[in-house]
Amino acid sequence: MSGATVVLGGRTAVERADLSVGAGELVGLIGPNGAGKTTLLRAVLDLVPLTAGEVFVAGPDGRRPGRGIGYVPQRHEFAWDFPIDIAGAVLAGRTRQIGWLRRPRRADRDAAQEALELTGLADLRRRPVGELSGGQRQRVLVARALAAQPRVLLLDEPFAGVDVPTQELLNDLFGRLAREGRGLLMTTHDLAAAARTCDRVVLINRTVVAEGGPALLADAEQMLRAFGLDRATGAVGAVGAARAAGAVGAVGAS
């Protein structure tokens, strides 16, 4: 992504943002509410138009945005009351490959089965999605994205509201995907999780404020800049609380 600018409803949501995710890299996108994190992901997917700049994904599709990319939205964006089971929801992630009004092929079913196994859902495949816990629903969204066998995976708050076992499973899975050579870009408010799992973090507040290794999360000055706060407001205490939650300890242990 180079010089990406998005204007929505007359308001600049993202401005001249430069961002890259390499193969085999897990990048955390950190910033306050309203900083443009989700908008940036949607721009990568070509779901919102760029006012300026460009997005491209290296590979067979060249500079075609949205291709070769898997997307895990926030849980509230999925219609959990739709009458479908886990297997059907995950297979729906192959819609682009299957095509409209066509029957899934063997390759499609195999890809969906692999995604179910990666996310620990194979034994629950016939359970209706409306009966799932929050952690199980999050795994369904990840599996649905993985069924498309993307080179790049975009994750919007994947740890929000999930239990500890689910977070550990997802952490392990994201690490495995990165080791296999996929690129992952994850928005999160969980600084401790970002410090433990990310290879690199990007601080954003409409534009990229700073980027670097996980130790960047312990830089009070950069965190204050990213969150649009001032020392005079007592914001240092807020950053200190985030650090005390475990981010700095995790950085030191890595």
Q: Does residue 44 contact residue 154 with C-beta atoms inside 8 Å?
A: yes
Question: Tell me: the pLDDT tens digits for 85-124?
Answer: 999 999 999 998 888 888 999 999 999 999 999 999 999 9
Give the per-residue pLDDT at 250.
Answer: 41
Backbone angles phi, psi at 205, to 5 degrees: -150, 85
Q: E strand or H helix at 7, and its extent?
A: strand 2-8
Q: How far apart are CA 217 and CA 193, in angstroms?
A: 11
Give the per-residue pLDDT at 234.
Answer: 43
Segments making up each domain of the chain, as ranges: 1-70+152-254, 83-149
Give the per-residue pLDDT at 90.
Answer: 97
Q: Does residue 99 contact residue 87 with C-beta atoms inside 8 Å?
A: no
Give the per-residue pLDDT at 190.
Answer: 87
CATH architecture of 1-70+152-254: 3-Layer(aba) Sandwich (3.40)
Give the per-residue pLDDT at 254.
Answer: 36
Question: Tell me: the pLDDT tens digits for 123-155?
Answer: 999 999 999 999 999 999 999 999 999 999 999
Give the per-residue pLDDT at 67.
Answer: 59
* Pairing of the two strands 26-30 and 183-187: parallel
Indicate the pTM of the whole model.
Answer: 0.85
Residue 148 CB burial class (10 angstroms; 0-12, 13-18, ≥19): buried
E strands, 66-219, in order: 69-72, 152-156, 183-187, 200-205, 207-212
Give the per-residue pLDDT at 204.
Answer: 94
Give the per-residue pLDDT at 46.
Answer: 87
| CA nearest to 18, candidates 226, 211, 239, 222 | 211
Q: Does residue 208 contact residue 19 with C-beta atoms inside 8 Å?
A: yes
Give the per-residue pLDDT at 245.
Answer: 40
* Pairing of the two strands 52-54 and 2-8: antiparallel
Q: Which residues of the chain have pLDDT under 70?
A: 58-67, 229-254
Give the per-residue pLDDT at 1.
Answer: 86
Give the per-residue pLDDT at 193.
Answer: 86
Lateral strand order in the sheet of 11-17: 11-17, 2-8, 52-54
